[in-house]
Structures are given as C-alpha cells and as structure tokens.
C-alpha cells in the first residue's frame, strides 16, 4: 500500500486514530479497493470501531493487486506519529503511508513545515480481518444529530460516569446516567436530560425502547465528529442488541458498534425471535471473503443485567474447520482465534 | 529598601556579592541544568558559571554574565564552592516563584569564603527571607577537552524546531542517534524504540537552520537518559548550536533570553554511547 494524505485530512486521520485508541490497544489496518480501513476492538469485545477512508480521501491511493493484505500495530505507536495533535494542522503538510509486506514495515512519513521530515518505521503483525457484522439499516430506531448537541448533552455527566441510558419515545429522547443496582441508593445521583425530537436532524423511532451503553467510546467518537463537524447517527433496537454510532460523508464512513446492557426479562422474550433471525445470513457469511461475524452472547445465566459481549469473530479462510463449526452451532461462541483457540 | 540597608557595612567581609532585582533571571537558568543535586559554582569577574555533572558522561554548564546582576562584586580572580542545587532552587523560589508581571523576588547572594555558608537574602513585597546553605569542598569539573578546532560538524537551529522533535521523541528508545553530514540526510535524529524506529530529518536549507557547517558524515549515539535533562534547557532557549568533535563528543549550546531580554548560555557536553556499526 502506498498512499498520501494532505492538508486538513492529516488531522482527520490523526483524530480518527486517537478515537480508535479509546477503544482498543491495537489498530487493524486493511487497505482495500474501496479504501483504507482502520479498526479496533476492545479487550472484552464489547466495543468495535471502524473507519473507512475512501480512495478520494487520499491524494494518492495505491494498493497492490490481488491478495488483500492486512496487519495490526500497537495503536500507541501510531498515536506517537501524530503526537502533537494541536500543532499538526499548522506543521504537517503531507503524510505518506507505506505498507511494505516484504520488509514488514509500516512507514509514516510526515512532511512538515521548514522542510522537516519525520519518518516512523513501525513493525507490525499479520492479522486476521476484524469485522463486526451489523445491519444498521434494519434498526428500528434512528437518530441523527449534530455533534454539538450530543457533546453538550454528554458534558452534563461526570467524567467518571461509565454508562449512559438512552430512552426514546415518539417525540423525545432521554439521556440518563446508568446507576448500578448494587450502588448505595443514598449515594446514587441521577442526572437526566430530555431532548425533543426537533433538536435532531433526523428522528425515526418505530418502537419505544431504552438502551444502556458505555460512554467512553461515544466520547471518543464525539471528539472526532466535532473536529470534522459531521453529524452522528445512532442506530439501535433494544436492550442487549448493539447500538451503532455512525459518522459518514462522501469520503469517510465511520461506525462504532457498542454492546448494550441486556435486560433480564427482555432477553427471554427476545430469544425466540433472535434464533429465528441469525445475525449473519448463512450464505453471505460463507461467501463473504472477509468472513467475519458477530454473535451476541447470551449472558442471561449471569445474575443481574450485564453487557452482552459482542464477539467479533475469528476470521478464517472459507471452509476452515473453525468457521464451519461456528456456523453450524449458532450458540457456539467464536472466540478470538489468537487469544483463545480452545474457547471454541 | 530592606536589601540595600541590610548589610552595607558588613559587605566588606564577603568575597562574593551578587544582587539581582528579579530572581527568575537566574532560577530559570539553574532549573535548566538541574538533574543532579551537586552544583559547582565558580565565579570570576566576568560572571558566574554553574556546573552539574552526571556519570562522568554528561556535563551541563550555565553561564550567567556579571552584567545580568545589578551588582556583582568579587574579591580576587576567582571564587569556587559547591552547593546542593535543589536546595538552592527551593530557596530562590521560596516566595512561590510567581510569574505575575510586576511581582518579582529580589535577591542578594553573599559568600564569605571557604568554610562559610552561601547566604541568600530574598525580598518580595517587603518580606525578607534569609537562607544559609552550607557549602561543600568544590570538586574539579571534568574537562571534556572539547575544543572548537576539533569540531567536525556544527549546526545552529532555531530551538522551536528541535523542541517539537524532542517532545515527540520515543522514550522507549535507549539512545538518540545523531547523524550529521554534508550530504543527505544532513541533520538527522533517530530513535530505536519498542514499536519501531523514527527519524527526524532537517534539510540544510530549512528556515530553521541558521548555520550548517558539516565537513564529514558522522553518526553517534547518545544515551537518551543522559540527554533527557537537556530538554529543560531547550525549552527555555531560542537558539541551539549542535556540535560534534572528531571523537563523537556532543556539545549542545543553548542561547537563553531572560525576562529582561538579556542573553545567557547553557551548555551540555555528552559522551557518545558506543561505536556505531554501519548497518
């Protein structure tokens, strides 16, 4: 891969990497025909983020023919390349990214003001493709808002707050801090904000529902959305199924998929329905070169509400025993191929 | 004026008296060389030189010219003593080291001679503090024998551009490698860290490059841990001169402008880490 980013897009790229660093420790890089994909997933696999930069985002975008190449690098080392975010816009004129599979080298070259040239050669690991399968268009509820609206809303919650509950009705949205059941009632504080539908750019609620998810990743995406000035769309169904936060424009497609807290009673009701519509359509899965899928893990055996882990599955070439196995048993959890091979 | 009335009559017994309206003019520059406790002070009629050393491999000198002081009186050709620099700095900033314009601490520094403490009179807003710091036997500073006739390569850069590089340096790298060459890459800083290597190249015709005098290609490595303290001096400075001699010894000279626009110098000498194999 050989690509060049210039001008303000360098900052967009840098912000994207900083947003991804809020999710996980590793950055998955995959140059494809339709653009460069940067992804990350957290260690508990309950949050996943993906940035797709289309070839038009770059002033040069060239990828080798044939077999797709992908790798992962420590996100910290990529962050180090774009360390001084504040001055980046003023100092960096051009960023050249080169992925050399033979030398096992990922090179970032920053052409800065005054002729200063910064070259970072990072070592990388080959990796499986990382992809969560989600169909945001099938979501029952869709909200779209300017980043400012959400940022102002989130600002009302203390930085230590981990989870937020979003409840929607036909014409209103409530943001509420999530209070753990075990929390001492006398010490718990509830903050709730109500936003009216007309504050949103787009407001489509088909079913009243309430989802609880982690605020950290939303904050990460907000930083990115605010710097680019692009609206955020939120796609969700109900407790237990993932919420998708999405920021798109003509050259950029960003999706954050976050697990939501499952609701004990709702899980039981939803289960039959879920079994009827398995998340990854079987055929697509078999044919998809990127072979990846997501299984919402049923954690209803655990006492109390808990986050449903989103397992972004191991990705093996078509026909590998592992992929067959996981497809055959919908309930079987596909664990990360590297971390836990015997978990399957 | 408490300071001037304090001890005019007793001045005669001191072999060194230095007074300053704004103590920040010397405390800042001393901070730039604070990486070890012991500092060797040597005063001559030209001014004050303060030396700090580490591991016999690194030496930092701060030069504070006599005219930085409102009064600088010395008996004889030279006066030398050693004090704990951290303690001295704590005393100099005893009023909090305020950076509010118009509020400054005045200093009168007196030394009576061998075996006597260094006495500081500090005044701010009418409050006077007297500090006495015990002095130690002055050690002989290491002579790095770095003379300009042996300098093979020299560049002068505006500090701004080096500050950026130093703030981004990969601290997981044990060494900082400096390459200076009449040909490409001209002036290069390299690190070799956990996640890979990084190079910062400065072209010789950059706006930031004030002087470029390189006669031969030289690549030397310096311990990052040794060079780290020099970033304090870099942060204060407006220009920096980077020189290497034929043995690979490094000299970094920082030009520092104080609050009153006067110029002081801070100098770092560092031994090279090891012979670099070409690879």
CA dihedral A283, A289, A292, A293 (to 10 degrees): -20
CATH of the domain at B42: 3.70.10.10
Partners of B208 on chain A (C-beta within 8 Å) are 114, 116
Contact state of A77 with B196 under an 8 Å Cβ cutoff: yes
Contact, B80 vs B133, CB < 8 A?
no
Cis preceding linkage at A55, omega within 30: no
Residue B278 lies in a domain: no
Q: Looking at residue A67, what DSSP letter applies?
A: S
Answer with the one of B89, B108, B133 that is the final residue of a domain.
Answer: B133
Q: Give the confidence band of B255 by pLDDT, cuts at 50, 70, 90.
A: very high
Question: In sequence order, what DSSP letters do the residues of A6-43 get, joined into one string?
Answer: ETHHHHHHHHHHHHHHTT-SEEEEEEETTEEEEEEE-T
Asked if B225 and B180 sit in the same domain, the reply is: yes
Contact state of A74 with B168 under an 8 Å Cβ cutoff: no
Tell me what pLDDT residue A9 has: 93
Asked if B119 and B155 sit in the same domain, the reply is: no
Contact state of A123 with B196 under an 8 Å Cβ cutoff: yes
**pLDDT tens digit sequence for B83-113:** 999 999 999 999 987 777 778 899 999 999 9
Residue A67 has pLDDT above 80, yes or no: no
Tell me what pLDDT residue B185 has: 92
Residue A319 has pLDDT above 70, yes or no: no
CA distance B110 to B19: 9
Asked if B158 and B126 sit in the same domain, the reply is: no
CA distance B76 to A111: 55
Asked if B156 and B127 sit in the same domain, the reply is: no
**pLDDT tens digit sequence for A189-238:** 889 999 999 999 999 999 999 999 999 999 999 999 999 999 999 999 99
Q: How far is A30 from chain B (nearest CA, A)?
A: 19
Contact, B245 vs B150, CB < 8 A?
yes
Average pLDDT over residues B38-65: 95
Is beta strand A163-168 parallel, antiparallel or unpaired with respect to A172-177? antiparallel
Q: How far is A94 from chain B (nearest CA, A)?
A: 15
Contact state of A119 with B198 under an 8 Å Cβ cutoff: yes
Tell me what pLDDT residue A4 has: 96
Asked if B70 and B158 sit in the same domain, the reply is: no
Which residue in this structure is represented by tokens 């007074």?
Answer: B19
Contact, B183 vs B248, CB < 8 A?
no
- Percent of chain A exceeding pLDDT 90 equals 53
Contact, A202 vs A142, CB < 8 A?
yes
Partners of A76 on chain B (C-beta within 8 Å) are 195
Q: What's the topology of domain A136-250?
A: Proliferating Cell Nuclear Antigen (3.70.10)
Asked if B116 and B176 sit in the same domain, the reply is: no
Partners of B195 on chain A (C-beta within 8 Å) are 73-74, 76-77, 80, 122-123
Tell me what pLDDT residue A136 has: 87
Answer with the one of B104, B133, B162 that is the final residue of a domain.
Answer: B133
Average pLDDT over residues B157-170: 90
A73 CB within 8 Å of a chain B CB: yes
Average pLDDT over residues B215-242: 95
Asked if B91 and B154 sit in the same domain, the reply is: no
Q: How far is A70 from chain B (nearest CA, A)?
A: 18
> What are the residue ranges of helices labelled H in chain B?
2-6, 24-31, 85-92, 159-168, 224-227, 230-236
Give the sign of the dihedral formed by CA B86, CA B88, CA B93, CA B99: negative
Across A130-144, A296-310, B221-235, least confident range: A296-310
Q: How many CB atoms lie within 10 A of CB A196?
A: 10
Nearest CB partner across the interface for A120, out of B194, B198, B203: B198
Tell me what pLDDT residue B81 has: 95
A123 CB within 8 Å of a chain B CB: yes
Tell me what pLDDT residue A47 has: 92
Tell me what pLDDT residue A317 has: 35
Tell me what pLDDT residue A255 has: 95
Q: What is residue A325's three-state secondary structure? A: helix
Q: What is residue B86's three-state secondary structure? A: helix
**pLDDT tens digit sequence for A40-66:** 999 888 899 999 999 999 999 998 876
Tell me what pLDDT residue A308 has: 53
Q: Give the confidence band of A296 by pLDDT, cuts at 50, 70, 90.
A: very low
Average pLDDT over residues A87-107: 88
Q: Give the confidence band of A285 by pLDDT, cuts at 50, 70, 90.
A: very low
Q: Give the confidence band of A343 by pLDDT, cuts at 50, 70, 90.
A: very low
**Strands, DSSP E only, in B30-117?**
38-44, 47-54, 58-65, 71-74, 79-84, 106-111
**pLDDT tens digit sequence for A133-162:** 788 888 999 999 999 999 999 999 998 889
Q: Give the confidence band of A330 by pLDDT, cuts at 50, 70, 90.
A: very low
Tell me what pLDDT residue B242 has: 96
Residue B35 lies in a domain: yes
Partners of B199 on chain A (C-beta within 8 Å) are 117-119, 121
Averaged confidence pLDDT in chain B: 91
Across A245-249, A277-281, B17-21, least confident range: A277-281
Q: What are the backbone dihedrals phi and psi of residue A4, each rounded to the nearest 5 degrees, phi first?
A: -130, 130
* Helix or strand (DSSP H, E) at A324: helix A321-328
CA distance A45 to A25: 12
Tokens representing A67 are: 């077999």
Tell me what pLDDT residue A6 has: 93
Domain of residue B52: give its range: 2-133
Domain ranges of chain A: 2-126, 136-250, 283-343
Average pLDDT over residues A318-329: 36
Q: Give Dmax (Cα) for chain B.
A: 68
Asked if B91 and B169 sit in the same domain, the reply is: no
Put residue A104 in one of left, alpha, beta given phi > 0 → left and psi -120 to 50 → alpha: left
CA distance B116 to A304: 74
Residue B104 lies in a domain: yes
Closest Cα to residue B148, out of B251, B274, B265, B237? B251
Q: What is the number of structural domains in chain B?
A: 2
B167 CB within 8 Å of a chain A CB: yes
Q: Which pairs count as long-range contacts for B113-117, CB under 8 Å and 24+ apart, including other chains?
A: B113/B15, B113/B79, B114/B81
Residue B231 has pLDDT above 90, yes or no: yes
Residue B135 has pLDDT above 50, yes or no: yes
CA distance B271 to B268: 10
| Count of positions (residues) in chain A | 344
CA distance A235 to A218: 13
Averaged confidence pLDDT in chain A: 79
Closest Cα to residue B168, out of A287, A14, A298, A195? A14
Tell me what pLDDT residue B276 has: 53
Identify the closest residue of chain A to B197 by CA–CA distance: A121
Q: Give the confidence band of A122 by pLDDT, cuts at 50, 70, 90.
A: very high
Contact, A110 vs A95, CB < 8 A?
yes
Q: How far is B203 from chain A (nearest CA, A)?
A: 6
Contact state of A122 with B167 under an 8 Å Cβ cutoff: no
B198 CB within 8 Å of a chain A CB: yes
CATH architecture of A2-126: Box (3.70)
Nearest CB partner across the interface for A121, out of B161, B197, B205: B197
> What are the residue ranges of helices labelled H in A95-214?
147-154
Closest Cα to residue B47, out of B33, B60, B64, B70? B64
Residue B172 has pLDDT above 70, yes or no: yes
In sequence order, what are the beta bridge partners of A49? A40, A256
Identify the closest residue of chain B to A77 by CA–CA distance: B195
Tell me what pLDDT residue B277 has: 57
Contact state of B207 with A114 under an 8 Å Cβ cutoff: yes
The contacts of residue A230 (CB under 8 Å, 6+ apart) are: A147, A247, A248, A249, A252
Contact, A190 vs A176, CB < 8 A?
yes
* Helix or strand (DSSP H, E) at A248: strand A243-249
- Percent of chain A exceeding pLDDT 70 equals 76
Q: How far is B75 from chain A (nearest CA, A)?
A: 49
- Percent of chain B exceeding pLDDT 70 equals 95
Contact state of A91 with B198 under an 8 Å Cβ cutoff: no
**pLDDT tens digit sequence for A11-44:** 999 999 999 999 999 999 999 889 999 999 998 8
Partners of A93 on chain B (C-beta within 8 Å) are none
Which residue in this structure is represented by tokens 């003019």?
Answer: B25
CA distance A189 to B228: 46
Tell me which range, A123-132, A257-266, B201-210, is most confidently predicted by mean pLDDT.
B201-210
- Percent of chain B exceeding pLDDT 90 equals 80
Q: How far is B193 from chain A (nearest CA, A)?
A: 9
B200 CB within 8 Å of a chain A CB: yes
Q: Looking at residue B113, what DSSP letter applies?
A: S
Closest Cα to residue A63, out of A99, A106, A9? A99
Q: Give the confidence band of A70 by pLDDT, cuts at 50, 70, 90.
A: confident
Residue B224 lies in a domain: yes
Greater confidence (A88 vs A274) lies with A88
Tell me what pLDDT residue B175 has: 94
Tell me what pLDDT residue B102 has: 78
Q: How far is B213 from chain A (nearest CA, A)?
A: 18
Average pLDDT over residues A106-119: 93
């Amino acid at each position: 891969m050989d690509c060049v980013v210039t001008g303000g897009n360098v900052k967009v790229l840098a912000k994207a990497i900083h947003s991804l660093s809020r999710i996980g420790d590793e950055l998955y890089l995959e140059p494809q025909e339709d653009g460069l994909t940067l992804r990350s997933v957290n260690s508990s696999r309950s949050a996943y983020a993906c940035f797709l930069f289309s070839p038009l985002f770059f002033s040069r975008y060239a990828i080798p023919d044939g077999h797709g190449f992908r790798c992962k690098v420590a996100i910290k080392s990529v962050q180090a390349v774009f360390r001084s975010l504040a001055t980046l816009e003023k100092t960096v004129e051009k960023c050249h990214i080169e992925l050399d599979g033979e030398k096992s080298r990922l090179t970032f070259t920053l052409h800065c003001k005054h002729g200063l040239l910064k070259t970072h050669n990072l070592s990388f690991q080959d990796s499986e493709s990382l992809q969560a399968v989600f169909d945001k268009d099938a979501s029952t509820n869709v909200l779209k808002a300017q980043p400012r609206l959400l940022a102002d809303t989130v600002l009302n919650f203390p930085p230590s707050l981990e989870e937020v509950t979003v409840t929607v009705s036909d014409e209103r949205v409530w943001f509420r801090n999530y209070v753990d059941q075990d929390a001492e009632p006398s010490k718990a504080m509830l903050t709730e904000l109500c936003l009216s539908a007309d504050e949103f750019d787009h407001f489509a609620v088909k079913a009243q529902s309430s989802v609880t998810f982690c605020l950290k990743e939303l904050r990460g995406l907000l930083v990115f959305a605010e710097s680019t000035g692009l609206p955020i769309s939120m796609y969700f169904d109900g407790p237990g199924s993932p919420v998708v936060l999405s920021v798109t424009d003509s050259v950029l497609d960003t999706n954050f998929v976050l697990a939501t807290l499952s609701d004990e009673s709702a899980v039981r009701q939803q289960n039959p329905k879920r079994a009827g519509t398995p998340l990854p359509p079987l055929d697509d899965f078999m044919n998809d070169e990127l072979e990846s899928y997501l299984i919402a893990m049923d954690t209803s055996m655990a006492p109390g509400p808990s986050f449903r882990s989103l397992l972004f599955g191991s990705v093996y070439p078509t026909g590998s025993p592992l992929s067959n196995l996981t497809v055959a048993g919908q309930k079987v959890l596909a664990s990360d191929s590297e971390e836990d091979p015997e978990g399957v | 004026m408490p300071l001037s009335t304090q001890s005019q009559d007793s001045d005669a017994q001191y072999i060194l008296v230095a007074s300053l309206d704004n103590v920040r003019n010397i405390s800042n520059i001393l901070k730039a060389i604070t990486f070890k406790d012991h500092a060797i002070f040597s005063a001559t009629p030209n001014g004050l030189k303060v030396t700090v050393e580490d591991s016999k491999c690194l030496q930092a000198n701060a030069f504070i010219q006599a005219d930085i002081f409102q009064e600088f009186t010395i008996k004889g050709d030279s006066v030398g003593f050693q004090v704990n620099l951290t303690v001295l700095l704590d005393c100099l900033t005893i009023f909090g080291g305020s950076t509010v314009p118009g509020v400054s601490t005045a200093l009168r520094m007196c030394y009576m001679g061998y075996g006597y403490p260094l006495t500081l009179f500090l005044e701010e807003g009418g409050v006077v503090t007297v500090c006495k710091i015990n002095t130690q036997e002055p050690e002989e500073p290491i002579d790095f024998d770095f003379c300009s006739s042996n300098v093979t390569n020299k560049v002068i850069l505006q500090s701004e551009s080096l500050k950026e590089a130093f703030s981004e340096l990969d601290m997981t790298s044990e060494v900082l490698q400096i390459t200076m060459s009449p040909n490409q890459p001209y002036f290069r800083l390299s690190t070799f860290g956990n996640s890979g290597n990084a190079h910062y190249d400065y072209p010789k015709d950059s706006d930031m490059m004030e002087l470029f005098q390189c006669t031969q290609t030289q690549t030397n490595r310096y311990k990052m841990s040794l060079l780290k303290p020099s970033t304090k001096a870099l942060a204060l400075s407006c220009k920096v001169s980077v020189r290497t001699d034929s043995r690979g010894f490094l000299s970094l000279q920082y030009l520092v402008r104080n609050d009153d626009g006067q110029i002081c110098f801070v100098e770092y000498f560092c031994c090279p880490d090891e012979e670099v194999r070409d690879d």
